[in-house]
Structure 1
Amino acid sequence: MHSTLVRLQNVFGFFTTVAFTVATLIALSSFVSPQTPSANISLRNVQVVKGRPHYYSSKREEYAHIKFDLDADLSTLFNWNTKQVFLYMKAVYPSTRASEPPSEAIIWDAILASSSAPWNQNHFVHPDPKSKLPKQSNKKRAAAKTAPKSPFPIGELHLENQKPKYQITDITGKLGNRTDVTLELGWNVQPWVGALTWTNWREIGVWKGLQGGRSKAFAFPEVGAKAARPKDLETEKGSEGHRLVVGEEVPLKKAVV
């Protein structure tokens, strides 16, 4: 006759075994869900100016401000096991030395949540092209605890003249006249259960590689080639776009030039 403690241990062991088995099956089932992502990226405007790209910058340097158009259909990335997709746009350009890998800089990102994920104010809400009403602030939405509805299905984006969230800087401090620059779309899928998956460019089973996803090559213009107004260099505001993580830098309170 087993004691009560032994019986509880047996029940708990059986429960954890069943839970682990079910979670494994759910995680593996994601790989049999077909994926056919596609995207079209085009450059709208690029400007290179010299100044302090951030309020905590300690010196003046050249930085680039890029606006772009994006039409993407990533709806097939969402299945029964998808919680959210971290989407980002990066600029890729050759390094100054041939022996070094190309430089990459993220200029825009967004969190695309599935319909089953709990609402968060940092989730991306697609702007309604037909709406002329002012966008409601994150603070008001959080107070009302309501999630704005997107005009398109989850995973479908149609952005025109999109402002970047981040300015591009280079370790050399110079960006003018750099050539062979491309914009590239990337993502990271976070499932409810299982491993994270990143952008795939090749066909893997029922997963098709990303069609498109890269813009045509362009060049950073010379500094001062076109006078830039302060309004033209504004970045998109978002609560997820104002974090200092790397090195935990302490911001310097200096005016942006």
Structure 2
Amino acid sequence: MHSLLARGNAVLAYTLSVLVTLTFACFLSTITIDYRKETALKTLKIEVKNLPEYGVAKKLNDLGHITFNLDANLTSLFNWNVKQLFIYMTAEYETPTNELNQVVLWDKIIKRGENADLHYKNMRTKYYFWDDGNGLKGNKNVTLTLSYNIIPNVGRLPLVGSIGSHSFGFPSEYTR
């Protein structure tokens, strides 16, 4: 006869083995899904100012102001394994001092059950668009892209870039 402790251990070990197998099967069921979606970004108002950044140094740096439209239907990204989405818009540009600059300008968390059909008009950036110098004035090759992290219940955490981007240029004169 087995003791009560040995029987409890056997039941627990079997239960955990079944749960691990089911979890792995659930992970395999969503690993091949293509999460890339079409998005539309458009800039409406673009300004650049030359202001002192008081947080780091007193030197003058470029500060960009952008007003944009965003259209993206991310509803179909939610399946049984997606808990929430962390979406964010980045600006990428090149300056003489840095080959690649990436700045996060806006973000949003969308939980399961919330509206994931995004139609934003005349939105301002959520975060400041600072450049560590004078790289924004007259820069004609700034690209806005929308990306998102998918937070699953089980499995890997994919970082997905949306299909579509928007390129624009900053004015060659500072705005007062």
Q: TM-score range by the shorter chain?
A: 0.7 to 0.9
Aligned match of 1:105: 103
CA distance in 2, matches of 1:165, 1:192: 28
The yes-or-no answer on 1:84 pairing with 2:36 is no
The answer to whether the 8 Å contact 1:90/1:107 transfers is yes
Query: Aligned in 2, Cα 1:171/1:34: closer, same or farther, shift over 3 Å?
Result: closer
- Aligned residues of 1:63 and 1:174 also touching (Cα < 8 A): no
> Does the 8 A contact of 1:94 with 1:180 survive in 2?
yes
Decide whether the 8 Å contact of 1:176 with 1:222 is kept in 2: yes
1:115-158 Cα offsets, whole Å, 9 max, x none, are 2xxxxxxxxxxxxxxxxxxxxxxxxxxxxxxxxxx6xxx32100
Q: Deviations over 1:61-120 (max 9, x none)?
A: 2211211101111112111111000000011111325xx5421101000001112xxxxx
* 1:222 shift after superposition: 3.4
1:193 aligns to 2:154 (yes or no)? yes
1:63 corresponds to which residue?
63
RCO higher in structure (CA 8 A, sep ≥6): 1
Paired-residue identity, %: 31
Segments of structure 1 that go 5 or more residues without pairing to the other structure are 116-149, 201-209, 228-257
* 1:13-24 pair list within 5 angstroms: 13-24=13-24
8 Å CA contact 2:42, 2:69 repeated in 1: yes
CA RMSD of aligned residues (A): 2.2
Cα deviation 1:164-200 (Å, max 9, x = unaligned): 1111122335421122111111000000111101115
Distance 1:35 1:106, change over 3 A: closer
TM-score by length of 2: 0.88
> In the aligned structure 2, how far is the partner of 1:177 from the partner of 1:36?
32
Change (3 A) 1:41 1:91: same
Change (3 A) 1:17 1:110: same
| Structure-2 residue corresponding to 1:28 | 28
Runs in 1 of length 4+ with deviation above 6 angstroms?
none
- What's the CA shift for 1:31? 3.0
Q: Which residue of 2 aligns with 1:220?
A: 170
Q: Distance in 1 between matches of 2:122 and 2:52?
A: 24
**Aligned match of 1:182:** 143
2:151 match: secondary structure: strand
State how far apart, in whole Å, the 2-side matches of 1:185 and 1:103 are: 16
Cross-structure match for 1:166: 127
CA distance in 2, matches of 1:156, 1:34: 18
User: Could you say if the C-alpha distance between residues 10 and 161 of structure 1 is closer, same or farther in structure 2, counting changes exceeding 3 Å?
Assistant: same
* Aligned positions, number: 175
SS in 1 for 2:16: helix
Structure 1 length-normalised TM? 0.62
Supply the distance in 2 between the matched residues of 1:175 and 1:196 (Cα, whole angstroms): 33
Unaligned runs of 5+ in 2: none
SS of 1:80's partner is coil
SS at match of 1:25: helix
Q: Would you say the 8 A contact 1:92–1:182 is kept in 2?
A: yes
